[in-house]
Amino acid sequence: MRTTLPELQRDILEHGHICRDQLELFERWQPRVTVKDAKLLVREGGDELFQLGQRIRKRFGTHIPERYDEHDFRFKFTKTERAEYSARNFSHGLFGRDEPIQYPEALHRDPVLRFYKGCDKWKKQVKQNPYSYHEMDRFGSSKQMRSVIEKLSKRIGTFVSPEEVHAIYQTCAFETAWSDRDISPWCLLFDKESISTMEYNEDLKYYWIDGYGYDLTHRQACSAFADLFTNFNNENGSRFTFYFTHSGTLLKSIAFLNLYKDNEPLRGENMRHKRKWRVSHIDAFGTNLYFVLYG
When mean pLDDT is compared across 30-44, 82-96, 155-169, 222-236, the lowest value belongs to: 30-44
20-37, pLDDT tens digit by residue?
999 999 999 999 888 888
Provide, for the chain, the percentages of residues in helix, strand and coil under a 3-state DSSP scheme, each rounded to the nearest 5. Answer: 55, 5, 40
Please report which confidence band the pLDDT of residue 190 belongs to, taking 50, 70 and 90 as the band edges: very high
Give which of 56, 3, 5 is closest to 172, Cα–Cα: 5
Region 8-29: mean pLDDT is 95
Instruction: Map out the domains of the chain with their CATH numbers.
Output: 3-281 (3.40.50.1240)
The answer, yes or no, to whether residue 179 has pLDDT greater than 90, is no
Residue 25's pLDDT is: 95
Give which of 221, 213, 205 is closest to 256, Cα–Cα: 221
Region 258-284: mean pLDDT is 95
Rounded CA-CA distance 102/287 in Å is 24
* DSSP codes, 152-195: HHHHHTS---HHHHHHHHHHHHHHHHH-SSPPPGGGGG--HHHH
The answer to whether 127 and 209 are in contact (CB under 8 A) is yes
Please report which confidence band the pLDDT of residue 199 belongs to, taking 50, 70 and 90 as the band edges: very high
* 245: three-class secondary structure by DSSP: coil
pTM: 0.93
The answer to whether 253 and 210 are in contact (CB under 8 A) is no
